[in-house]
Amino acid sequence: MKNIVYVENKYFVAVTHNGFKLTNLETKEKHYLSFEDVEILIFDNSQCYLSAKVIEKCADNKIGLLFCDRGHSPLSVLESVYGQQNRFERLKCQLSASSKVKGRLWRKIIISKIINQAVCLEKIGTEKESTEVLKSMTKTVTDHDVHNNEACAARLYFKKLFGDDFKRGRTTDLENAGLNYGYAILRALIRRNLVLKGFEPSIGIHHASTENPFNLSDDIIEPYRPFVDYYVFKNILPTKHETLESDDRKNIIKVLLNKCVIDNHVMYLQDAIELTIDSFVSSIEAGSSGRIKLPTFIEGGD
C-alpha cells in the first residue's frame, strides 16, 4: 500500500533525484518522499507551491494530484491519460455495455451496500431487529433496484446510526460534514482509478445526471460509504466539535488505512478500491456481472 500525502501547511513541493522534497516555507523544515511510496498528493492549503517538475513526475509515476477548495473539499484531480493504449477500446466497451449487465451490476452493488450498512449498525451495537430488517431488504433487490430498496434502507440506517433528528444533506453539522468529506476523498480516488483504467467517469451504470461528471464514481462508491459512516461515528463524533476542523479532516483520510475483506482477502480500503475497479472493468469487457469484487467489513473487528 502506498501513502496518501496530505499537505496542510504552507509548503513548496519540488523534485529530487528519485522523489519529492517538501519544504515548510515557515519553519524551513524539509521532508523527503520517494516516488514509489506515494499514491496521491492532497493539497489543502491555497498557499502551497509546486514546481512543474512535480506534475511531470506525478504523470510518469501515476501519482495523483488532488487540490482542495477554500472549504477544504476536493476541487480538482489531475491524472494523465498519456500512454493509455487501450483507452479507446475501453471507452467502446463502456458505451456498449448492455442494460442487462448494468442492471445486474447495480443490484450487486446495492446488496453489498445494504449488507455493509447492517454490519455497521451491528458494530455500533444497534438492536438486532433493525439490522435484520436491513439484511432482509437485500433479498428483494432487483436488477436496476427498480423498487428503490437503497433509499428505503438508507432511511432506517441513518436514523439508527445518528439518531431520529439526523437528516442527510445538511452541510453544517459535524455528522454530515464528516460524511461529505470522507465521501469526497473516496470519490476522488475512485475517479482517478477509473481514468487510469481508461474509463470515462461521467458515464455511469445507474447514475445518469447530465450535470454530474462523476456518475460512474458515484456508482462504484456505494458499498464503500458505510466504511466512512462507521469511521465518522467512531472517530469524529466523539470529538464533540461544532464543525469539522483541520485535525478531523486529516483523521478522516485515515479511513483509507482501514481494512476490509474483498475477494476472500484482507486489504486496505485504498487497495480494495483498485481491485473493485479492476473487476468492474473485467465485468464490462466480458459482459458479465459475475466478475465484480466488492468489500465487506472484517467480521468481529475493524
* Per-residue pLDDT reduced to its tens digit, 124-156: 999 999 999 999 999 999 999 999 999 999 999
C-beta of residue 3 within 8 angstroms of C-beta of residue 38: yes
Q: What is the pLDDT of residue 69?
A: 81
Q: What is the pLDDT of residue 92?
A: 93
300 in any annotated domain: no
Q: What is the pLDDT of residue 73?
A: 75
47 in any annotated domain: yes
Q: How many folded domains does the chain comprise?
A: 2
Q: What is the pLDDT of residue 85?
A: 65
Q: What is the pLDDT of residue 255?
A: 94
Question: What's CA 237's distance to the chain center, in Å?
Answer: 20
Instruction: Record the cell numbers describing residue 291, joined without a space.
Output: 466478475
Indicate whether 155 and 31 sit together in one domain: no
User: 299 labelled as ligand-binding?
Assistant: no
297 in any annotated domain: no
Indicate whether 18 and 108 sit together in one domain: no
Regions in the chain scoring below 70 on pLDDT: 1, 80-85, 171, 300-302
CB atoms within 10 A of CB 21: 16
Q: What is the pLDDT of residue 219?
A: 97
User: 207 labelled as ligand-binding?
Assistant: yes
258 in any annotated domain: yes
C-beta of residue 63 within 8 angstroms of C-beta of residue 57: yes
Indicate whether 107 and 152 sit together in one domain: yes
Q: What is the pLDDT of residue 129?
A: 95
298 in any annotated domain: no
Range of the domain at 133: 87-291
Category of 241 on φ-ψ map: left (φ > 0), alpha (ψ -120 to 50) or beta: beta
Indicate whether 190 and 231 sit together in one domain: yes
Q: Which DSSP letter does residue 297 get? A: P
Q: What is the pLDDT of residue 87?
A: 83
User: 79 labelled as ligand-binding?
Assistant: no
Rounded to the nearest 5 degrees, what angle is found at the Cα of 141, between the Cα atoms of 144 and 230?
A: 100
Indicate whether 36 and 53 sit together in one domain: yes
C-beta of residue 275 within 8 angstroms of C-beta of residue 239: no
